[in-house]
Structure 1
Amino acid sequence: MRFQVCLGLLVLSVLVVQSSALRIRPIPSSSCPTPPTDPSTYRRGCGYPYTNGERCTYRCRRGYTAVPSTTVRTCTRGVWSGTTLVCVRPCRSPPFVRYTSRSGCTAPYTNGETCTYRCRPGYTQVSGNTEKTCVNGVWQGNNLVCRRGCVNPPTVPGTIRFGCSPIYTTGESCYYKCANSRNAYCKEVSGDYIRRCLSNGHWSGNNLECDCVDKVGCCRPDIVFVLDYSGSIPDSEFVKIKNFVAALVDRFQVGVLDAQIGVIRYNHAVIHEFHLNTHDNKADVLSDVSAMPTATTGGTNTAAALTYVASTMLLPGNGNRPDAPDVVIVLTDGYSSGVVGPASVLHGMGVQTFAIGVGACANSAQLTQIASCPDYIYRLPDFSALRSITAGMHDQICCHNQTATCPENYERVEVDGTAKCLRFSARDDRKNYQAASQTCRAEGARLVVIKSAALNTFIVNRIQTTYAAETWIGLDDLTAPANQYRWSDGSVLGGGDFSDWSPGQPDTIYGEKCVEIRPQFSYNWNNHRCSELKNYICEKAPGSPPCCPKPRIPLFPGDVDLATDVAESARLAPPIQCDAPAAEEEGDALSAEEEAATRG
């Protein structure tokens, strides 16, 4: 009996121990917490407690659209599998924007859909976006703003456009002129140089077409021959003069874009042959030269001939071109008083004036007065020698194509077809803006004007590779009105002009009115206090090239110095008796026909 009691107590103890062990290590639970929710969705198909394997189905609420994602989540060992359903709100009809048309979108306007706006014909975009996108119920993007006008005017190759600027309103006109990025001479062939913005949004007219020739190696002077036709020249010798003119003309290309030729003869009066714009081809010029009469007569009035050239032959209406060098070739065998004044007028106009004296009676001192350069004087023993000088004269006339020179300490820079002479101040030569400007002016220069990206790039590279310091340029806001920047050449920096401002510049604080190139701002432009000491850049135009050298031609025994007078010429020349200067007679220019009638 006692044994049975003891056994029962033992069994009871084992059961108690097992029960305690179970309480310490319970069996893991398989239920899940409350499933995740989103305000744009609702849940169904599941309820508390969320046991293992239970599934919840999600749907978008009214007014929302599902973005591809999981719609069912399952309770798996206490964790909800899958991702949350994403629902977005579609957009209402896209906004109405005045003066535009809309395309690329249709109802219903789902999330991510894009509508494209365009200005209606006759209107042009001022600001805003051309696209609006539906993002979770809201149309994103600023409204397109259109106003009556045209889109950008056409870009015409071989031209430059001026006289108009964005925004191009109805009735506004843009002007075109023939030009060329390679610095060419151009003329209009066809098309319109004025284009107007029409009410339908289109530009009137047709593209301007141009014919251009490259300036490099191009010789296109306006040449006027002034030929002595006085009675002291035998008729047979004037034939040689005509042959000389023809031979020199034949060395040039003749035309509107090339050399232009004009001719006058003179004795006591001026006899007009043809103007610079009379002929646009070499054949017609040579034909008229060949047709000139050879029966010379009358006295010698070189002064009247030079006056006629300055007052008539070199007028724009008679073919003189502002961008072509002017050349006057005077050929005489004698003397005429009063040439200093008319010759000085031609020299003041920048005319290259050649003086050819033929025979012992040609006055060396007067040839010096006529010629614009000592190397432009020729003294020939006879008219047969004319044929030997055409090659040299051609080279001299085309001399203006040679490289112009820059002063000492300045370097020549050619960008965009234009040459400049620049002087960068030394590393330790730092001045305030006014002192830098005065220094440049004292050298006949100015602070540099930068109107192209090419020149700006050259200058920035030079600063970077030399002193790498702040550098004044010729741009400031020191004159009224305020906040209008003006270049040292007097021009205003306009909205459409080239500029290289640093972001946020120019600002209006601290009284900063002078412009620098600033290394700390990535070598962009910055307005700064004018009193600060900085490096600076002066610029000036290249000087005119010197006279081209010509071969020396032995004329008389021992040759004759160009400055000698008539007595010295007579001493070295063969003993020829010269007639006294013929009495000069006043008279208007005669046409070739009138001159022939007078002789006849």
Structure 2
Amino acid sequence: MKRRKPCHFTYTWILIFICLLICGVKCEYKDIVFLLDSSGSISPGNFEEVVDFVSNVTSWLTIGPNETLVSVVTYASNVTEHFSLATYTSSSDAISAIQSLKSITPEGGTYTHLALNYSYEHSFGVRNGSSKAVVVLTDGRSVSRTETEKAADDLRSMEVEVYAVGVRSDLSLTDLDLQVIANDPDSYYITYVDDFVYLCNVVPGIVSKLDASAVANSVQGCPEMPTTTSSSKVTEEATTTTDSTTTTTIDASTTGMAILSSNRRISHRVQ
């Protein structure tokens, strides 16, 4: 899957000229959706590491209505959108909302395909002309690899770049689960770490892939990964706006993507 080129179609060069010489802004802006595994195999402490990872990545992105927008969705046996791409247009508000997710108690199964389906059906379309990316972070196998691959392919049909971040030994031995999620090549779109505490090590690499103009520094206090850990790993198997947000929940036990509930949640900025 080739990466989407900026400002193509009609009047390409005129738009580039205007952007660079008159407006002084980037021609290409990106919509990024984080799909976070919150299943029962993840402890509350480890989920906090996930939240910090997303916060750290977001802190290096330029958030704004004409720049990058982010959305966060968690999934287990059901899917919950905590805020959409249209909700926050400042980095501080987005990070505050992300940090509030530390109150989540992980539970349920790993229905990765439902999260991918939700993103395909609901996440994008906020603005025209943006490039699109989905970052899936998971520590285990999806309940259905076949359905997961189909859902990821649906996103790719919309020219969405799909990244997979795998954590722990369950996935280090079954990278096919990550491969069906991620775009090709696997060496670029798949990232793997041995444990949640090492997620901070791969923040700079993920940031540079999501925004080539951003240069992220190492996270202070981040523990060094063991020499056996590879941040981009493919195993031998590969060769055979406001502070108010709308929360939408999808139940895995239902057929299709029926919406179970919608409620309002107020996020408080972290000082």
**Partner amino acid, structure 2, of 1:245:** V
Within the candidate set 182, 185, 192, 1:371 is matched to: 182
The equivalences for 1:442-591 within 5 A come to 556=228, 562-565=234-237, 585-586=253-254, 588=258
1:460-513 deviations in whole A, cap 9, x for unaligned? xxxxxxxxxxxxxxxxxxxxxxxxxxxxxxxxxxxxxxxxxxxxxxxxxxxxxx
1:216-235 deviations in whole A, cap 9, x for unaligned? xx763100000001111000
Deviation at 1:212, TM superposition (A): 3.7
Residues 184 and 266 of structure 1: CA distance in aligned 2, closer, same or farther (over 3 Å): same
Instruction: Give the conservation status (yes or no) of the 8 Å contact 2:191–2:233.
Output: no
Deviation at 1:367, TM superposition (A): 0.4
Deviation at 1:594, TM superposition (A): 9.2
Within the candidate set 302, 305, 310, 2:120 is matched to: 310
Does 1:325 pair with 2:131? yes
Residues 560 and 220 of structure 1: CA distance in aligned 2, closer, same or farther (over 3 Å): closer
Instruction: Give the conservation status (yes or no) of the 8 Å contact 1:340–1:370.
Output: yes
Secondary structure of the residue aligned to 1:309 is: helix
Deviation at 1:590, TM superposition (A): 5.7
1:267-306 deviations in whole A, cap 9, x for unaligned? 0111111110111111111111111123111111000100
**Partner amino acid, structure 1, of 2:55:** A
More helix by share: 2
Does 1:299 pair with 2:109? yes
Secondary structure of the residue aligned to 1:184 is: helix
**Partner amino acid, structure 2, of 1:364:** D
Does 1:347 pair with 2:180? no
Residues 554 and 339 of structure 1: CA distance in aligned 2, closer, same or farther (over 3 Å): farther
In the alignment, the residues of structure 1 paired with residue 192 and residue 90 of structure 2 have an alpha-carbon distance, to the nearest angstrom, of 31
Secondary structure of the residue aligned to 1:265 is: strand
Residues 392 and 280 of structure 1: CA distance in aligned 2, closer, same or farther (over 3 Å): same
Secondary structure of the residue aligned to 2:92 is: helix
The aligned residue for residue 243 of structure 2 is: none
The aligned residue for residue 259 of structure 1 is: 68
The aligned residue for residue 248 of structure 1 is: 57
Secondary structure of the residue aligned to 1:258 is: coil
Residues 400 and 563 of structure 1: CA distance in aligned 2, closer, same or farther (over 3 Å): farther
1:421-456 deviations in whole A, cap 9, x for unaligned? xxxxxxxxxxxxxxxxxxxxxxxxxxxxxxxxxxxx
Within the candidate set 38, 41, 61, 1:229 is matched to: 38
The aligned residue for residue 358 of structure 1 is: 167
Residues 182 and 287 of structure 1: CA distance in aligned 2, closer, same or farther (over 3 Å): same
Does 1:334 pair with 2:140? yes
The aligned residue for residue 4 of structure 1 is: none
**Partner amino acid, structure 2, of 1:334:** G
In the alignment, the residues of structure 2 paired with residue 331 and residue 367 of structure 1 have an alpha-carbon distance, to the nearest angstrom, of 10
Residues 351 and 392 of structure 1: CA distance in aligned 2, closer, same or farther (over 3 Å): same
Secondary structure of the residue aligned to 1:280 is: coil
Does 1:386 pair with 2:199? yes
Secondary structure of the residue aligned to 1:312 is: helix
**Partner amino acid, structure 1, of 2:253:** E
Identical residues among aligned pairs (%): 27
Consecutive unaligned residues of structure 2, counting only runs of 5 or more, are: 1-13, 215-224, 241-251, 266-271
In the alignment, the residues of structure 2 paired with residue 558 and residue 247 of structure 1 have an alpha-carbon distance, to the nearest angstrom, of 20
In the alignment, the residues of structure 1 paired with residue 73 and residue 231 of structure 2 have an alpha-carbon distance, to the nearest angstrom, of 31
Residues 329 and 561 of structure 1: CA distance in aligned 2, closer, same or farther (over 3 Å): closer
Residues 330 and 561 of structure 1: CA distance in aligned 2, closer, same or farther (over 3 Å): closer
**Partner amino acid, structure 2, of 1:184:** C
Consecutive unaligned residues of structure 1, counting only runs of 5 or more, are: 1-178, 186-210, 402-552, 569-583, 596-600
Residues 228 and 591 of structure 1: CA distance in aligned 2, closer, same or farther (over 3 Å): farther
**Partner amino acid, structure 1, of 2:131:** P
Instruction: Give the conservation status (yes or no) of the 8 Å contact 1:301–1:585.
Output: no
- Backbone CA RMSD of aligned residues: 3.1
**Partner amino acid, structure 1, of 2:207:** H
**Partner amino acid, structure 2, of 1:313:** S
Q: If the length of structure 2 is used for normalisation, what is the TM-score?
A: 0.72
The equivalences for 1:385-424 within 5 A come to 385-399=198-212
Secondary structure of the residue aligned to 1:182 is: helix
The equivalences for 1:68-87 within 5 A come to none
Deviation at 1:556, TM superposition (A): 3.5
Instruction: Give the conservation status (yes or no) of the 8 Å contact 1:226–1:263.
Output: yes
Higher relative contact order (CA 8 A, sep 6+): 2
Deviation at 1:380, TM superposition (A): 0.8
In the alignment, the residues of structure 2 paired with residue 350 and residue 180 of structure 1 have an alpha-carbon distance, to the nearest angstrom, of 21
1:208-253 deviations in whole A, cap 9, x for unaligned? xxx94432xx763100000001111000111111101110000011
- Larger-gyration structure (1/2): 1
**Partner amino acid, structure 2, of 1:310:** Y
1:43-64 deviations in whole A, cap 9, x for unaligned? xxxxxxxxxxxxxxxxxxxxxx
Residues 299 and 592 of structure 1: CA distance in aligned 2, closer, same or farther (over 3 Å): farther
In the alignment, the residues of structure 2 paired with residue 351 and residue 400 of structure 1 have an alpha-carbon distance, to the nearest angstrom, of 19
Instruction: Give the conservation status (yes or no) of the 8 Å contact 1:272–1:591.
Output: no
